[in-house]
C-alpha cells in the first residue's frame, strides 16, 4: 500500500542558520482509472484517465471522479472496483484501479469527451461551460441559514483534522460539515480536485448524494472545476480559504449555491447565495 507521506533529506535555511534534517513531504503518484463496460457478450475496457494524486482513499477518488464527470449517477451502477495489475510492473500495482460497470450502465465515450474540461471542449466560453454543467446538475433550493460565528470556526476545525498537512505543511484539503458545524469527512491530496472527488466518492458509496444540508470547505482557491464538482454533487454551501475565479462565481450564482471566499481570521466574502448566511 502506498503511503501519503514520505521522507526527504532537506536543509532548513533561515537568516541565521542552516540545519540538515529529515523532513516529510506529501506523496504524489499517478493513478490510472480503467473502466469495464457493456453487456457480458461484448465487454469492453478502456483506460479512462490518469490523475496525479496522493495515495489513500483511491476508490473514493475514482468513484467521485466518475460521478462528477457524469459517468455514474449512483453507486449501484458499479459491479466491482479493485486495484489491478494485468501484467504491468510490480511498482504499478497500487496505481491502477479498475471499475466494472454493471451491464445495464450506458457508457457513451463520445459524451465523455465533452466532460473533460482539460482535454476536450464543452463549448469554448465561460457561458457554455456553465450551461453544460447546469443542464446536468440540479438547481439548489435548500433554504437553511447559518450563523456567521459557526462559519468562522470551520477553518480551525479543518486544520486540526488535517493529518498530512500537519506533517508536511502543504497539501490541499476538502472538509465536509453538517449544518451544525460538525465535521463529517475530511480528505487530503496534492490535487485539490482529488480531495473533493474523494469526499464526493465516499458520500456516493453511502448513498447520500445529492449532498443536501452540507457545508464544504476548500483549503485553497475556488476554481470552476471545483464548483462544477460541488454543483454536480448538489452541495448547497461552499467556503474557500482562497479566492474564487469569475467562472466559479457565475456558476455558483446560476445554481443558487452559496459561495464564500477568503474564509480566514474570522472574515469572509460572500460571492453568491447570501440568503443562507445570517449576518
Cis previous bond, 210, omega within 30: yes
**C-alpha to C-alpha distance for 79 and 114, rounded to whole angstroms:** 25
Known catalytic membership, residue 122:
yes
- Residue list 7-36, contact with a copy of itself (CB under 8 A): 8, 10-15, 18, 23, 25-32
Of 63-71, 125-133, 173-181, 211-219, the window that binds a copy of itself (rule: CB under 8 A) is 125-133
Alpha-helical (H) ranges within 35-145 are 58-68, 109-115, 126-134
Comparing CB distances to a copy of itself, the nearer of 43 and 127 is 127
User: Does residue 82 belong to the site contacting a copy of itself (CB under 8 A)?
Assistant: no
User: Does residue 50 belong to the site contacting a copy of itself (CB under 8 A)?
Assistant: yes
Q: Which of 70, 83, 115, 152 binds a copy of itself (CB under 8 A)?
A: 152
User: Which one of the listed residues 84, 122, 125, 137 is annotated catalytic?
Assistant: 122
Nearest alpha-carbon partner for 161 in 149, 174, 148: 174
For cell 459561495, the residue is 259
User: Does residue 221 belong to the site contacting a copy of itself (CB under 8 A)?
Assistant: yes
Of 67-75, 134-142, 153-161, 240-248, the window that binds a copy of itself (rule: CB under 8 A) is 240-248
CB 201 within 8 A of CB 65: yes
Q: Which of 76, 127, 139, 147 binds a copy of itself (CB under 8 A)?
A: 127
CB 261 within 8 A of CB 271: yes
Nearest alpha-carbon partner for 99 in 64, 68, 133: 64
Q: Which of 43, 44, 52, 102 binds a copy of itself (CB under 8 A)?
A: 52
Cell numbers linked to 40: 457480458
Comparing CB distances to a copy of itself, the nearer of 214 and 219 is 219
Q: Which residues are catalytic?
A: 122
Amino acid at each position: 500500500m502506498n503511503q501519503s507521506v514520505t521522507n526527504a533529506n532537506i536543509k532548513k535555511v533561515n537568516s541565521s542558520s542552516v540545519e540538515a534534517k529529515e523532513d516529510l513531504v506529501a506523496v504524489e503518484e499517478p493513478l490510472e482509472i480503467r473502466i469495464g463496460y457493456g453487456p457480458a457478450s461484448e465487454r469492453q475496457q478502456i483506460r479512462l484517465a490518469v490523475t496525479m494524486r496522493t495515495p489513500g482513499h483511491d476508490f473514493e477518488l475514482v468513484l467521485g471522479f466518475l460521478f462528477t464527470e457524469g459517468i455514474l449517477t449512483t453507486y449501484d451502477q458499479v459491479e466491482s472496483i479493485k486495484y489491478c495489475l494485468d501484467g504491468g510492473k510490480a511498482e504499478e500495482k497500487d496505481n491502477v484501479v479498475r471499475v466494472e460497470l454493471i451491464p445495464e450502465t450506458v457508457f457513451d465515450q463520445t459524451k465523455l469527451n465533452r466532460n473533460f474540461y482539460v482535454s476536450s471542449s464543452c463549448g469554448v466560453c465561460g457561458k457554455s461551460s456553465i450551461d453544460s454543467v447546469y443542464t446536468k446538475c440540479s438547481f439548489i433550493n435548500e433554504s437553511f441559514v447559518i450563523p456567521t460565528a459557526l462559519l468562522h470556526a470551520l477553518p480551525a476545525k479543518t486544520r486540526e483534522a488535517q493529518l498530512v498537512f500537519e506533517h508536511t505543511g502543504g497539501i490541499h484539503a476538502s472538509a465536509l460539515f453538517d449544518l451544525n458545524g460538525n465535521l463529517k469527512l475530511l480528505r487530503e491530496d496534492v490535487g485539490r480536485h482529488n480531495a473533493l472527488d474523494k469526499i464526493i466518492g465516499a458520500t456516493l458509496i453511502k448513498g447520500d448524494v445529492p449532498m443536501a444540508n452540507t457545508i464544504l470547505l476548500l483549503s485553497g482557491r475556488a476554481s470552476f472545476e471545483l464548483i462544477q464538482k460541488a454543483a454536480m454533487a448538489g452541495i448547497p454551501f461552499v467556503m474557500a480559504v482562497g479566492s474564487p475565479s469569475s467562472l466559479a462565481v457565475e456558476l455558483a450564482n446560476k445554481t443558487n449555491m452559496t459561495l464564500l471566499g477568503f474564509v480566514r481570521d474570522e472574515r469572509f466574502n460572500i460571492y453568491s447565495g447570501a440568503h443562507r448566511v445570517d449576518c
